Amino acid sequence: MAQTQKNKATAHHLGLLKARLAKLRRELITPKGGGGGGPGEVARTCNLILIVLDVLKPLGHKKIIENELEGFGIRLNSKPPNTGFKKKDKGGINLTATCPQSELDAETVKSILAEYKIPNADVTPPSDATADDLIDVVEGNRVYIPCIYVLSKIDQISIEELDIIYKVPHCVPISAHHRWNFDDLLEKIQDYLKLVRIYTKPKAQLPDYTSPVVLPYSRTIMEDFCMKIHKNLTKEFKYALVWGLSVKHNPQKVGKDHTLEDEDVIQIVKK
């Protein structure tokens, strides 16, 4: 692939090679006999990946690790391709593009799908799609995980170089030796994981800001909060008083279906 010049004439040949490579990678990483996988399979289950790099030579190591993760079907800081793909019983391969395609044409699509022994399918890219996009959709086993690049040893570079690093997306510069910038890293982890922190307030006492109850962004209704504390709490729950961004009045009386926001304060009243 590295030796093939990229142009319209070689697009279908490159697409075919990419499809073959994707199939080989899948065969290599699929555990035989139902056994557990290695580090790559563990990484696939993560909510966030941190890649720690030496700030003095980050690019080479970054590429090696990214290629390794990509081989396990992991896509970093990207969204699933929105290319439509539907197998059918007859009618051959149909490519219906709603906008000009710089990489995919009928021949490229046919050669990729032939590698997967798919003779009949409809492919509908709503935007300019790549061969990799189509392969990812056909494979159907990709995982899309946020990633933070932690650039260590910043005590060995200049302020000017540090300013440049701060402009690089998804990067946090730190010094592990001096424990510099750990707060920034923790804040970025919180942001990328989309965690919601909820503080509790016992009756007639101040809120406890030292140990929040942490909920994933997808499970932030009051019932989720109760289940996190104890499953019996949902049965004993009468109502809750909430202070914070999720309510119009402070405090506001809410039920079990109320959606909480980050850093809300809660006082639960039992039956």
Find how far residue 208's CA is from the centre of its chain: 31
pLDDT of 36 reads 54
pLDDT at 5: 82
Q: Using omega within 30 degrees of 0 as the cis cutoff, is the peptide bond preceding 212 cis?
A: no
Hey, what amino acid is at 268? I
Domain membership flag for residue 127: yes
0.85 cut: is pTM over it?
no
Q: Are residues 221 and 253 in the same domain?
A: yes
Say if residue 171 is in the same domain as residue 233. Answer: no
| H-only helix segments in the chain | 11-29, 39-44, 58-71, 106-115, 131-139, 159-166, 182-193, 222-229, 233-236
Q: Are 243 and 218 within one domain?
A: yes
Q: State which residues form the domain around 95.
A: 81-136
Does the residue 3 lie in any domain? no
How many domains does one find in the chain?
3
> Are 140 and 44 in contact, with CB atoms under 8 Å apart?
no
Q: Are residues 204 and 260 in the same domain?
A: yes
Assigned domain for 2 exists: no
The whole-number mean pLDDT for each consecutive block of 10 residues of the chain, a chain of 271 residues, reads 79 87 81 62 91 91 92 93 95 94 92 95 95 94 95 94 92 95 94 94 93 92 95 94 96 97 96 93
**Degrees, nearest 5: CA angle 93-97-100:** 130
User: pLDDT at position 34, please?
Assistant: 54
Of 101, 119, 136, which one is at a domain's C-terminal end? 136
